[in-house]
Structure 1
Amino acid sequence: MPDSLHVKVSNEKVGTILLENNEYIFDYTTDNQDAFVSLSMPVRVKSYANPKLHPIFEMHLPEGYLLSIIKKHFSKITKTDDFGLLQLMAHSIKGRLTYEADKTQEESTLSLDTLLHPKSETLFDELVSRFALDSPISGVQPKVLVKVRDKVTLPLQEYIVKSWGDEYPHLALNEFYCMKVVKCAGIEVPEFYLSDDNKLFIMKRFDIKDDGNYLGFEDMCVLQARQADEKYEGSYEHIAKSIKTFVSPKYKKKALRDFFKMMVINTLVQNGDAHLKNFGMLYENIHDIWLAPAYDVVCTTLYIQKDIPALHLLESKKWWSKAFLLRFGKESCELSTSETRVLYDECVEALRITAHEMKERIEIENDLHVKAFLSSLMEAFERENQ
């Protein structure tokens, strides 16, 4: 018998994915056109066959650090190929799209205060041991999905908690201040925090509504029908095209403005990891689709001195000039000359304000390593702001 999983959308069983003869096959078992598993996979009678796991299902698989931890613990007792991983993680995948699977362990929770005010230097390792199998999140950086309950009467919240290794010192500080630039520029961001010991970057999951129900979320790899290992292929023009293709008309202008500002900020802070999986869309239904909040913004040139952008823009893969970015805003984001200049200036001002905040913190910071890192990050900001 081939390996198979039943797939649900908003708790309604809609289809089955199976691995047969080295081919992944997804079949809809519903004719409800609103019960699509992906914006790029509408409900139809014909099977969706693929030599690799379909991008919408692959999106839930762990990468990098988490993948290595899970393989280390489970490779002796179960298959850890893509389908084996999907079966292993299926019970923990919560969202608009879920799977019919047996829960293998009791749900573990903790308080947000525990994350913000760590009392143990090994807190992240403890989180990994408790939440690794409940963390269906992609990305190579050490991270886990943690369930938080601060008050019994409130719905359970979920936060992505990131740490960093020796090769990327103070990555939590880096992301915290880069995300502050994004927020200051008026771009929507998830709720985010930095732990007291500066070791953890904590970000609230942004696809859960206030009533506890889930929105649909798809990253650009899924929307462009690419596998995860193709996340560095393509261009920012292709992302702009996907926005114009999928985003609902009432949100399209804002989405293109925000995407343009994201491109300016990624250039100003020199974020060389703004790949396809770091942009996405949220939706209620096929008629209500918008650009997801900005996430995963860091200055990568502090670790890789000659780092370059993740994708091409105007057939170039280098840090672009203001004139280059303004041209992109007009040609790909459908903005006027005056709009591009105003939005660009808003990003520069956000960088200046954040650099000033960092300078104030440096003056009172007691940890010499933190002080030195913040000084380097501030210098990078100020260099790009000139």
Structure 2
Amino acid sequence: MTPRKKLDVFLRSRKVGELTGNGLKLAFQYDPEIVSEYGAGSILLSLSMPLSRRKFEGPVVYDFFDGLLPEGQVRSHLAKENGLSTPDAFGLLRVLGADCAGAVQVLRPGESPEVPGAAIPMTDDEVTTVVESLPTWDLPNDFLVTASLGGIHSKVLLTRQGEGWAWPGRGAASTHIIKPAPLESAIPDLLASEDWALKVAAATGLTAAKSRLQIFGSREAIIVDRFDRASDGSRIHQEDFTQALALGSGAKYEGTSTPPSRLTRLANAAALHTRDDAAFRRALLRAVTFNVAIGNGDAHSKNYSLTLLDGGELRLAPLYDVAPTLLLYAPSNNAGHTVGGQIRLGYITLEHLVREGAAWGMDKEDARQTAVSALEALGSAASTSQPPERLEFLRKLVPARVEDLLIGGTARRQ
């Protein structure tokens, strides 16, 4: 029998448990003193793995830890570079686990979660070279990829130091995501529209990641401030909805309209651990309403997250990866989640949104008022938020979609 290898799992720089595995079989166990301190059943690492003295095994463990890793071409490239198979989450975390989404670090036994001086200052030319080379890597010899972030798009994680950038060496916390425009994409102006949508979300009153556009050599890129990093660079814990629901990254798009919906399951499970369950459900419905109204065909379960506070309280994390994809590319018509029994963006109406909120336990009138107020705020914010000239049509189209929804219809695409 192949011996099971071990990795230490840290949360907020404190060891909370041990990940063991061989091949693709993973197991996780919390340290007994952590269970004693916080209490069995408390939420610390993941909604899908409440604190317990028993060992977690099987898909729930693989899905959570695999969800910390990138997908697609980026993952394949990193696996090849390190002599690993693409599905080998344990092997990839051994290399990339020093800086993950949230406050998680997965480290080799004996390795410290905090390494002074691990961030290596970079010149502007080095940053440009790294961004331009994605999805492959063109790095100086002493730069190793030791940080990981879920998702399919090519991106680089860097640490902001004053006015410059630094490479997050092993143990350093990255603070920003730089995502260049894909070399090949069916969706035109995706990054510019994402930057605009994030700014509109903030103007609407939703909590959203901060972003800006910048040119790096020949590549336009969006720079996103990591909302899972505090102003002092410390880590804030979060997990996406696939991890919270023990779903694999490959199942990020909901594939059925059979009730209960995925959002219903998430809302009901998370609300038990929120300070104000009614406020949590309203925040989630506002976020879903926003994504439907702007035509976001990528609002799947890896593009919504929960923030997990140290005391076990859950909150809805800021919006991120929001873009009006349907308005740029007509086939992008998948809502990501079933909303009131409907999965196609082009068929969702205000009544679907109300029905979805009611399925979470909201009073129907409360759900209606929540969705309507979110739509009205979006219509005003979109009409006054300036996009790049090539996307000027969004200032009229998104408010027009809002009006379509408010009068009970489906939202126009052009």
Report the TM range for the smaller structure's normalisation: 0.7 to 0.9
Letter matched to residue 277 of structure 2: K
Q: 2:180 aligns with which of 139, 159, 163?
A: 163
- The structural deviation recorded for 1:22 is 5.0
Q: Whole-Å Cα distance in 2 between the matches of residues 21 and 157 of structure 1?
A: 29
Partner of 1:322: 350
Letter matched to residue 46 of structure 2: S
Provide the identity percentage: 22
Distance 1:74 1:123, change over 3 A: closer
C-alpha contact (below 8 Å) 1:162/1:200 kept by paired residues: yes
Letter matched to residue 203 of structure 2: C
Q: What pairs up with 1:283-362 in 2 under 5 angstroms?
A: 283-301=308-326, 302-305=328-331, 307-319=333-345, 320-332=348-360, 334-337=362-365, 340-341=368-369, 343-358=371-386, 362=389
Partner of 1:219: 240
Q: Whole-Å Cα distance in 2 between the matches of residues 122 and 351 of structure 1?
A: 40
What SS is found at the alignment partner of 1:310?
Answer: strand
Q: 2:64 aligns with which of 56, 66, 90?
A: 56
Partner of 1:86: 93
Q: Does 1:381 align with 2:402?
A: no
Distance 1:192 1:88, change over 3 A: same
Letter matched to residue 68 of structure 2: H
What SS is found at the alignment partner of 1:31?
Answer: helix
C-alpha contact (below 8 Å) 2:237/2:308 kept by paired residues: yes
Q: Does 1:256 align with 2:281?
A: yes
Partner of 1:10: 12
C-alpha contact (below 8 Å) 2:179/2:223 kept by paired residues: yes
Q: Which is worse superposed, 168-177 or 229-238? A: 229-238
- The structural deviation recorded for 1:307 is 2.1
What SS is found at the alignment partner of 1:43?
Answer: coil
What SS is found at the alignment partner of 1:84?
Answer: helix
Q: Which is worse superposed, 34-43 or 294-303? A: 34-43
Q: Whole-Å Cα distance in 2 between the matches of residues 7 and 375 of structure 1?
A: 47
C-alpha contact (below 8 Å) 2:97/2:147 kept by paired residues: no
Partner of 1:366: none
Q: Whole-Å Cα distance in 2 between the matches of residues 45 and 73 of structure 1?
A: 37
Instruction: Let me know the Cα RMSD of the aligned residues.
Output: 3.4
C-alpha contact (below 8 Å) 1:91/1:99 kept by paired residues: yes
Q: 1:206 aligns with which of 224, 227, 231?
A: 227
Partner of 1:74: 82
- The structural deviation recorded for 1:245 is 2.5
- The structural deviation recorded for 1:139 is 0.9
Q: Which is worse superposed, 375-384 or 251-260? A: 375-384
- The structural deviation recorded for 1:12 is 2.9
C-alpha contact (below 8 Å) 2:16/2:30 kept by paired residues: yes
Q: Which is worse superposed, 60-69 or 221-230? A: 60-69
Distance 1:47 1:177, change over 3 A: same
- The structural deviation recorded for 1:276 is 0.9
What SS is found at the alignment partner of 1:93?
Answer: coil
Q: Whole-Å Cα distance in 1 between the matches of residues 325 and 277 of structure 2?
A: 30
Distance 1:71 1:21, change over 3 A: closer
Distance 1:17 1:268, change over 3 A: same
Distance 1:86 1:241, change over 3 A: same
Offset from partner CA, 1:273-324 (integer Å, 9 cap, x none): 1111111111223442211111111122212435221121222212211222
Partner of 1:41: 49
Q: What pairs up with 1:190-205 in 2 under 5 angstroms?
A: 190-195=209-214, 199-205=220-226
Distance 1:333 1:150, change over 3 A: farther
- The structural deviation recorded for 1:134 is 3.7
Partner of 1:25: 27
Letter matched to residue 270 of structure 2: F
Specify every segment of 5 or more residues in structure 1 that has no aligned partner in the other structure, as ranges. 363-370
Q: Does 1:125 align with 2:125?
A: no
What SS is found at the alignment partner of 1:32?
Answer: helix
Letter matched to residue 40 of structure 1: S
Q: Does 1:233 align with 2:257?
A: no
Letter matched to residue 235 of structure 2: Y
Distance 1:21 1:199, change over 3 A: closer
Partner of 2:202: 183
Offset from partner CA, 1:228-276 (integer Å, 9 cap, x none): 1111136794324423432444243332222111121111111111111
TM-score using structure 1 length: 0.81
Partner of 1:149: 161
Q: Whole-Å Cα distance in 2 between the matches of residues 306 and 328 of structure 1?
A: 21
Q: 1:100 aligns with which of 104, 107, 110?
A: 107
- The structural deviation recorded for 1:330 is 3.6
Distance 1:120 1:376, change over 3 A: farther
C-alpha contact (below 8 Å) 1:275/1:310 kept by paired residues: yes
Letter matched to residue 5 of structure 2: D
- The structural deviation recorded for 1:173 is 0.4
Partner of 2:269: 245
C-alpha contact (below 8 Å) 1:257/1:333 kept by paired residues: no
What SS is found at the alignment partner of 2:93?
Answer: helix
Q: Whole-Å Cα distance in 2 between the matches of residues 228 and 38 of structure 1?
A: 15
C-alpha contact (below 8 Å) 1:251/1:290 kept by paired residues: no
C-alpha contact (below 8 Å) 1:109/1:148 kept by paired residues: no
Partner of 2:304: 279
What SS is found at the alignment partner of 2:288?
Answer: helix
- The structural deviation recorded for 1:149 is 0.7
- The structural deviation recorded for 1:50 is 0.8
